[in-house]
Structure formats: C-alpha cells, structure tokens
Chain A
Amino acid sequence: MSVTLNHYLFASGILFAIGFSGVLLRRNILTIFMCLELMLNAANLSLVAFSRFNVSPTGLPNYNAQILVFFIITVAAAEVAVGLAIIVSLFRARQTTHVEDVNSLKF
C-alpha cells in the first residue's frame, strides 16, 4: 500500500489534536507554549503535503505553499521570542509559571 495524501493529512491532524489537548490539559505555561508550537508544525506538515500533491505542468511541486511554510516558521520564531520574554517578566512579577496562579482578570 503506497502512502497517499490522506496519510499525511491524518498524521498532521493527529499532531494538531495532540498539541490542542496539551493546550487544554496542561497547567504549566511553558508546556502550553510548546504545544502551540506542535500545532503550528502540524499545519506546516499539511501545507507541505499539499505542495507535493499539487504538481505543476512542468513537473515541479507548488512552491507557493512552501513559501507560506517559510513565513509561518519565521513568524513562529518571532512569536516564541516575544512569548518567552513575556513569560520571563511574568515570572519576575509573580514567581510562578502556573496558569491557575495568574487569574486576577478572571471573572
């Protein structure tokens, strides 16, 4: 049995679900951040799979999707830098990385 597009899409969807469950279930803000990265990478996998599937008449993969993945990786790197800086300043103010300890705005 050969590997088809659906295999890649399903692997990507499962990876997304794993990251999503981590965001919902975990209470450590650093782990939540790592699970967000997992979800971004799941989207990248499906984009690259579609890029390989959608071959142009000249026999090349669709490079526009790979450019989108490139931008996603760039933005994710910037996002990680800013997010971790926010976590560090949160830790300085509250001495905790537990989301349940930071609920002043909670109704």
Chain B
Amino acid sequence: MSPFLFWFFALLMLGFGVSVVINRNPVASALSLVASFLCLAALFVGLNAFFIAVIQVLVYAGAVMVLFLFIIMLLDLRAEQRRRFNLVALGGGTLVTLGLVAELASVLNRFPLGRNPFPPLQGSAVDDVREVGMTLFSTHNLPFQITGVLILVATIGVVVLSKRELN
C-alpha cells in the first residue's frame, strides 16, 4: 500500500473513531462508526486481505450498523444531557488511556522486526477468497460448525429477550 493511502485512511479512521467518542448524539456516533469501519476496510484492502475487507463492509458497515440505528430509532434517544462532571472518572479514564498509548509506543520502539517492510507476495492475489475458503473448510472446519451453533443460540436468545412476557 502506498504510504499516502495508508496515512490518509489511517488518520481518517482514527479521526472518525475520536468522533464516535466525543459526539453526544448517538446517531452521529453511529454514523462516525460506519465511516471508521469503511476506512478500516480500505486498510484491509491495502494489506491484500480482500475477503476480510468485503466481510467488514457487509457485516459491520451493513448489518451491525443498521441494527444500531434501528435500536436508536426504537428507543427514541435524545442527545445526552450534560450531567454533573465526574472529575475522578474523567481524569482516571484519560490517564489510563494515555498510559496505554505510552506503553504501546515503548513496546513498538523495542520491536526491530516490525521496522522491516512487508515481504512481497507471489502469485496472483486475486484467489484470496479461494485460499480463505480452503483454510476455513479444511483446517478450521470444526470451529466453523461451532460458530453455526453459536449463531443459532444468539438468534434464540434474542427472540426470547425480545418477547414481552414469558409464559
């Protein structure tokens, strides 16, 4: 991926991520989240993970965000009012976050392997989906089937939770 495209999409992704956190209106937060996920999908394309990028757009920017927006509409939320300022929570949260970033920077500074450029790929990168499918259905067949059971359980759980009364 060319450096310009990397910086463009990475900064856009982080900017929209910040916008998710600082927006008081949940609808604005949700739309910023969509934009952030689309930039992330562009970064996946830059890493030659085309299948994952498509899944990211379909599942996250499509299904999950529609779900979020429907729930926001259903709950009829107004913008969050400004409550009394909890200074301890605000200071603690900022401190923990900055500590996390500082720790990450110091770890990555001591990781010389990561300074090498990405090794080149051979062959056509177009049969990405075929390779993912081969790996998924041969090496990771059992986890794939268990995921099917998990989705079934989630579906039943959502139906049970959404019923008005159980009897």
Contact = CB atoms under 8 A, between A and B. Distances in A.
Interface of A: 1-11, 13-22, 24-28, 30-31, 33-35, 37-38, 41, 44-45, 48-49, 51-53, 55, 58-61, 63-64, 66-67, 69-71, 73-82, 84-89, 91, 97-98, 100
The interface size bin for chain B is: 35 or more
Nearest to B1: A3
Contacts, number: 234
B118 A20 contact: no
17 contacts: A5-B114, A10-B108, A13-B104, A15-B17, A21-B94, A24-B96, A30-B26, A31-B80, A34-B30, A37-B33, A38-B17, A61-B121, A67-B132, A70-B51, A84-B67, A84-B71, A85-B162
Interface of B: 1, 3, 6, 10, 13-14, 17-18, 20-21, 26, 29-30, 33, 36-37, 40, 43-44, 47-49, 51-52, 55-56, 59-60, 63-64, 67-68, 71-72, 74-75, 77, 80, 83, 89-90, 92-94, 96-97, 100-101, 104-105, 108, 111, 113-123, 131-132, 134-136, 139-140, 143, 147, 150-151, 154-155, 157-158, 161-162
